[in-house]
Amino acid sequence: MANIAFIGLGHMGSGMAANLVKVGHKVRAFDVSEAAMARAEADGCIRAANIGAAVDGADAVVTMLPAGQHVAQVYANEVFGAARREMVLIDCSTIDVATAKQVGSDAANLGLTMVDAPVSGGTGGAQAATLTFMVGGSEAGFVLARPILEGMGKAIIHAGGPGMGQAAKICNNMILGATMVATAEAFVLAQKLGLDTQTFFDISSKSSGQSFSMTSFCPVPGPVPASPANRDYAGGFGAALMLKDLKLAVGAAAGVGASVPMGSQAEALFQIFNGLGGGNKDFSAIIKLLDGSWQD
């Protein structure tokens, strides 16, 4: 079993670090939040005084941080100085492709092995160790990262070279955001046309309109008991995180000249919804913007 430094113990990182402990790894954890540190300690992690102390002598470093600037700063200012060539550096945060490529290239220039390995599966997947990891980096990096990621997920896929994990993640989530908007507006239209919601679900979920947005995160209460719509859109995948991922996708598209009209439209709608105070609700609550029932 490995010595692992785990940096960033928030909604996702806390469950992921706890799962690494459960499968027998020794996990030295660090977060700037004392509450996060206390929870990690209760889950069996070893409290590190700072990032350098967590990384020193580790076999692997896992980071799960909010955004690109945090990842760039943590690696440049703290991880790289304490890292050694034998260890693998694994960034699981969702960040922009350009920063992922830059940090990966900085690592390579220092003789270090780094992969970007963003996840799909949300906090439920983080807790249940059922995440999907999309890994960007060298084959050697993938081989080193895989046994660590296996303690936290069920599917570990090599997406390509540096940054390609992030590319897969934002393209996937652009589909998710756009299909949720399409699904939500179809349910609103069905209701206004006088079609029973459950009946429409029963038909469309077995027809060509079916999608993950419909069958796992159905935006209307009733048809899918586990969907956040049944608990006033609490929990799930926050609309603020969806906006973040759509911005990353649309920004990346602009950088390479790709046309993403559906992704751009979804971004614009989630921007409005976040501006109206919906950011903490599950992203399926976008239906309340579309049917005019949203009240902050």
Catalytic residue list: 169
Does 11 bind ligand NAD (CB under 6 A)? Our answer is: yes
Q: Which residue is nearest to ligand NAD (CB)?
A: 10
Smallest distance from the beta carbon of 94 to ligand NAD, in angstroms?
4
Q: According to CB under 6 A, which one of 22, 23, 26, 123 is a site residue for ligand NAD?
A: 123
Does 119 bind ligand NAD (CB under 6 A)? Our answer is: yes
Pick between residue 77 and residue 198 the one whose CB is nearest to ligand NAD: 77
Does 270 bind ligand NAD (CB under 6 A)? Our answer is: no
Pick between residue 30 and residue 233 the one whose CB is nearest to ligand NAD: 30
Q: Which residue(s) pair with 111 in the sheet?
A: none
Pick between residue 59 and residue 282 the one whose CB is nearest to ligand NAD: 282
Site map (CB under 6 A) of ligand NAD, residues 221-240, x = contact? ----------------x---
Q: Which residue has the tokens 């459960």?
A: 22
Identify the burial level of 181 via C-beta atoms within 10 angstroms of its C-beta, where 0-12 means exposed, 13-18 middle and 19 or more buried. Answer: buried
Pick between residue 99 and residue 204 the one whose CB is nearest to ligand NAD: 99
CA-to-CA distance for 43 and 234, rounded, in angstroms?
A: 25
Site map (CB under 6 A) of ligand NAD, residues 83-102, x = contact? ----------xx--------
Q: Please provide residue 72's backbone torsions phi and psi, each rounded to the nearest 5 degrees.
A: -60, -45
Number of residues located near ligand NAD, criterion CB under 6 A: 25
Question: Is the CB of residue 236 less than 8 Å from the CB of residue 122?
Answer: yes
Applying CB under 6 A, the span of 31-39, 257-265, 276-284, 285-293 interacting with ligand NAD comes to: 31-39
Does 36 bind ligand NAD (CB under 6 A)? Our answer is: yes
Restricted to residues 54-73, the positions that interact with ligand NAD (CB under 6 A) are 64-66, 70
Report the interface residues with ligand NAD, using CB under 6 A: 7-13, 30-33, 36, 64-66, 70, 74, 93-94, 119, 122-123, 237, 241, 244
